[in-house]
Structure 1
Amino acid sequence: MDDDAVPFPDHLTIRVTHTDDPVSAVAGLEAWESRGRYPNLLMMPPVFGALERTPEGAWRILGFHNTTPQTARDDLGHTFRCWANSEPGGRWEAPWDITDEERAAYTAAYERLEWEKLDELTVAGRQYRIFRAEQVLRGGPDGVEPPRPTDPDPAPVGQGHRAPSRVDGYVIDPAAAVTLVDGIVRLDLMSLVPTGRFITEEVRADARLASAQYPNVLVLPVHCAVAEQRDGRWGPMTGACETPQAARDSLAAYLREFAPMLNPGLDEEELAAYAEAADRLDASRANTVEAAGRRFQLVRVEPVVRLGPDGPELPRASDLDPDPPIRVQEERERAAGWVPEDDEED
Structure 2
Amino acid sequence: MTKAIRFHQTGGPEVLRLENVEVGEPGPGQVRVRHTGIAVNFIDIYFRIGRYPTPSLPSGLGSDAVGVVEAVGEGVAYLAPGDRVGYMLGPLGAYSEARVMPAEVLIKLPDGISDRTAATIIMKGLTAQYLFRQVFPLKAGDTILYHAAAGGVGLIACQWAKALGVTMIGTVGSDEKAAVAKAHGCTHVINYNRENFVERVKEITDGKGVPVVFDSVGKDTFMGSLDCLQKKGTLVSNGTTSGPVVMDVTLLAMKGSLWVTRPAMVDYALPRPNLLKMADELFDLVLQGHIRSEPQQVLPLAEAAEAHRLLESRQTIGATILVP
- Structure scoring higher RCO (CA < 8 A, sep ≥ 6) equals 1
The answer to whether TM tops 0.5 is: no
Larger CA Rg, structure 1 vs 2: 1
State TM-score, norm by structure 1.
0.26
